[in-house]
Amino acid sequence: MKSNIALIGFMGTGKTTVGQVLATRLHRKLIEVDAIIAKMAGKPIPDIFRDNGEIYFRELETKAIKKAAAREKQVIACGGGVVLNTINIDRLRETGVVINLTASLEIILKRIVKDGENRPLISVNWPPERIKELMKFRRPFYDRAADFVVNTSKLNVETVADKIIDRLKNDESFNF
Ligand code: S3P
């Protein structure tokens, strides 16, 4: 039986905020993969990208996912690029249900601008066209990885959590 809930999706789709609500409502621990990575490296994510580069970040990400997926009954909020390495998804799917959160480009842009400098892969100065390209490139990775999708563009966090919980209740492979 699977007992973890893994949230994947592009930056700004609400993985962490939805993860927090799910964890509270289901009395589970929230694991933020980016936080594990920052702890492993001893520095914040933007500093890892700046000092060590993306490849090193991805290596730490794979180690962090291995660690997170080995535990039970947690909500795992992944970083947006987790889908780029299939081993991450294989591991998440072994012990959990994988949910892809999506949002429109407009909503993602708004949320990213609000978060400012925390996203080394896309600066606030990036033109929307470039973010759109990255979303387009990644879309098949998210689609392939997910058990199901929730579009968070027009929903508040509680409603997104309701939808996820409803789906999980009807999933016989999931252990509440
Ligand atoms: C990344 C997304 C970030 C973080 C890192 C790389 C990505 O997480 O892991 O900056 O490749 O999409 P969020 O999706 O939580 O912003």
Distance 11 CA to ligand 1 centre (A): 6
Q: In a mutational test of the pocket of ligand 1, which residue from 43, 84, 121, 131 has the highest number of ligand atoms less than 8 Å from its CB?
A: 121
Q: Are 75 and 98 in contact (CB under 8 A)?
A: no
Q: Is there an atom of ligand 1 within 6 Å of 23 CB?
A: no
116 pLDDT higher than 80? no
Q: 124-135, pLDDT tens digit by residue?
A: 677 788 899 999
Closest CA to 67 of 36, 38, 22: 36
Q: Is there an atom of ligand 1 within 6 Å of 119 CB?
A: yes
Q: Is there an atom of ligand 1 within 6 Å of 81 CB?
A: yes
Q: 167-176, pLDDT tens digit by residue?
A: 999 999 999 8
- Amino acid 114: pLDDT: 77
Distance 122 CA to ligand 1 centre (A): 9
- Amino acid 16: pLDDT: 96
Question: Using CA atoms, how far apart are residues 29 and 143, in angstroms rounded to an integer?
Answer: 26
Residue ranges per structural domain of the chain: 4-167
Of all protein residues, the one whose alpha carbon is nearest to atom 15 of ligand 1 is: 79
- Amino acid 124: pLDDT: 67
Q: 73-85, pLDDT tens digit by residue?
A: 999 999 999 999 9
With residue 100 as reference, give the H or E element that holds it.
Answer: strand 96-102
Q: 47-94, pLDDT tens digit by residue?
A: 999 999 999 999 999 999 999 999 999 999 999 999 999 999 999 999
Quickly name the fold that domain 4-167 has: Rossmann fold (3.40.50)
Q: What is the band of 119 on the pLDDT scale with cuts at 50, 70, 90?
A: confident
Mean of pLDDT over the chain:
95
Distance 15 CA to ligand 1 centre (A): 10
Q: Are 100 and 126 in contact (CB under 8 A)?
A: no
113 pLDDT higher than 90? no
- Amino acid 117: pLDDT: 64
Helix axes 15-26, 157-169, angle to 10 degrees: 60
The residue-averaged pLDDT of 143-159 equals: 97
Q: Is there an atom of ligand 1 within 6 Å of 8 CB?
A: no
Exposed e or buried b per residue across 146-170, where buried means at least 16 C-beta atoms within 10 angstroms of its C-beta: bbeebbbeebeeeebbebbeeebee
